[in-house]
């Protein structure tokens, strides 16, 4: 039970960090990032707007990983999901 509570706390901290620290910086460049989940050190993020078509999204994900390591002391892997608007051609 204690381990489950700890995992939930870490997930809440991670979601808060993405929402209140990282998202604003991404929005400054016309992008949009949303927290999806955090489990077993795997952070899943949804990227919209300019991020959904960015050619250097992997560099941005590496930057997010380094900020998390620096600010939260957590090593994470990031799964990036691109969410393009439905009216874009594929």
How is the chain split into domains, by residue range? 2-82
The residues that bridge with 45 in the sheet, in sequence order, are 35, 80
Rg of the chain over CA atoms, in angstroms? 14
Query: How would you classify the pairing of strands 77-82 and 31-39?
Result: unpaired
Question: Considering the entire predicted model, what is its pTM?
Answer: 0.86
Going residue by residue through the chain, which has 90 residues, state the pLDDT in tens, using 9 for 90 and above.
Answer: 677 777 778 899 999 999 999 999 999 888 999 999 999 999 999 999 888 888 899 999 999 999 999 999 999 999 999 987 666 555
Q: How far apart are CA 50 and CA 13, in angstroms?
A: 26
What is the architecture, at CATH level 2, of domain 2-82?
2-Layer Sandwich (3.30)
pLDDT value for 50: 85
């Amino acid at each position: 039970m204690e381990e489950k509570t700890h995992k939930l706390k870490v997930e809440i901290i991670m979601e808060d960090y993405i929402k209140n620290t990282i998202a604003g910086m991404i929005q400054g460049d016309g992008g949009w990032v949303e927290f999806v989940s955090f489990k077993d050190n795997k952070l899943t993020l949804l990227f919209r707007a300019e991020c959904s078509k960015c050619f250097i999204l992997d560099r941005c994900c590496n930057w997010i990983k380094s900020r998390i390591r620096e600010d939260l002391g957590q090593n994470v892997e990031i799964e990036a999901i691109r969410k393009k608007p439905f009216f874009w051609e594929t």
